[in-house]
């Protein structure tokens, strides 16, 4: 295993830890002093992570996909010189909680919304080969129902639940004093959002969650999205406006009596295709999600 660290680029602390075997590395971007966004480079490592570093303890927000866990732990070790004390899982998807076990075993306490733990126990842990029961180390051992606040490193990190949004166990984190929000998958920046109707998510809840974060933010707030580049309130507003208009376009066809396949054939989201379509949530999949949501109301 070869690790290389490069420090200092365009005013950012940029640490790139290269893992020779997989080609995936973890890139770290300083958001504000003591707070970093971590993301995969050279391959998919999972959703964007947040890392708070300081004398009182280290807090990691989300922890990527399971196969990248050793690379992530190495990168954190290189970056901070210490282990993670707390992990916050923003929601139950495997690209955000994959290193829970590895982090638990390294001494971290995993924190999440009640419904995330409940869903992992009831539905199990997703693997490429199917679902298996979640092990004790994969489950958060501290859960909350509405909100909780971390007081570490002279920062206040307000962790709050967003009801029936991306899933039924979503959290976002507002670092109030430094004006940074980690939105989890309530925000796919520049990408059609995944709204997981089968895991308790809803289009209305997703829109309400985005609106709540917009209301919390100011013009200078930095927002870490679950996926896509580092962002801000203006871009989140653009995403919400797109989703609201996309829903209205599908609704017009549902109201006209079109079936799901007829709506897809009509391609009401065509105007958004070039800017928002991506491999996971294609224009067709976004259309079907909106159809399903509207026809179940």
Contacts with Zn ion, residue ranges (CB under 5 A): 93, 185
Closer Cβ to Zn ion, 18 or 65, answer by number: 65
CB of 274 to Zn ion, least distance (A): 24
CB of 167 to Zn ion, least distance (A): 7
Closer Cβ to Zn ion, 263 or 290, answer by number: 290
CB of 175 to Zn ion, least distance (A): 21
- Is residue 227 within a helix (H) or strand (E), and if so which, with residue range? strand 222-227
Closer Cβ to Zn ion, 93 or 164, answer by number: 93
* DSSP label of 66: G
**CA–CA gap between residue 87 and residue 109 (Å, rounded):** 6
Closer Cβ to Zn ion, 164 or 251, answer by number: 164
CB of 261 to Zn ion, least distance (A): 27
**CA–CA gap between residue 161 and residue 165 (Å, rounded):** 10
- Is residue 120 within a helix (H) or strand (E), and if so which, with residue range? helix 114-123
- Who contacts 267 (Cβ-Cβ below 8 Å, separation ≥6)? 283, 287
Of residues 109, 98, 181, the one with CA closest to residue 144: 109
Tally of CB atoms within 10 A around 284: 14
Closer Cβ to Zn ion, 98 or 268, answer by number: 98
CB of 182 to Zn ion, least distance (A): 13
């Amino acid at each position: 295993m070869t690790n290389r660290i490069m420090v200092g680029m365009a005013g950012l602390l940029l640490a790139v830890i290269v893992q020779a075997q997989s080609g995936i590395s973890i890139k770290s971007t300083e958001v504000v002093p003591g707070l970093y966004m971590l993301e995969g480079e050279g391959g998919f490592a999972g959703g964007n992570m947040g890392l708070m570093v300081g004398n009182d303890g280290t807090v990691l927000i989300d922890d990527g996909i399971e196969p990248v866990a050793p690379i992530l732990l190495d990168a954190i070790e290189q970056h901070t010189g210490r282990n993670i004390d707390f992990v916050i899982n923003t929601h139950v998807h495997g690209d955000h909680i994959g290193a829970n076990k590895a982090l638990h075993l390294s001494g971290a306490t995993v924190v999440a919304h009640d419904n995330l733990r409940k869903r992992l126990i009831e539905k199990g842990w997703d693997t490429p080969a199917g679902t298996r029961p979640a092990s004790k180390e994969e489950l958060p051992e501290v859960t909350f129902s509405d909100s909780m606040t971390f007081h570490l490193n002279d920062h206040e990190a307000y962790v709050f639940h967003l009801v029936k949004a991306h899933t039924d166990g979503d959290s976002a984190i507002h670092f109030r004093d430094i004006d940074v929000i980690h939105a989890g998958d309530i925000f796919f920046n520049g990408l059609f959002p995944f709204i997981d109707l089968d895991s308790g998510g809803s289009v209305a809840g997703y829109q309400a969650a985005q609106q709540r974060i917009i209301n919390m933010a100011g013009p200078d707030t930095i927002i870490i999205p679950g996926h896509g580049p580092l962002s801000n309130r203006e871009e989140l507003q653009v995403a919400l406006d797109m989703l609201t208009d996309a829903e209205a376009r599908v609704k017009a066809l549902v109201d006209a009596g079109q079936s799901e396949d007829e709506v897809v054939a009509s391609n009401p989201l065509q105007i958004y295709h070039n800017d928002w379509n991506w491999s996971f949530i294609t224009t067709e999949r976004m259309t079907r999600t909106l159809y399903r949501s509207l026809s179940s109301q």
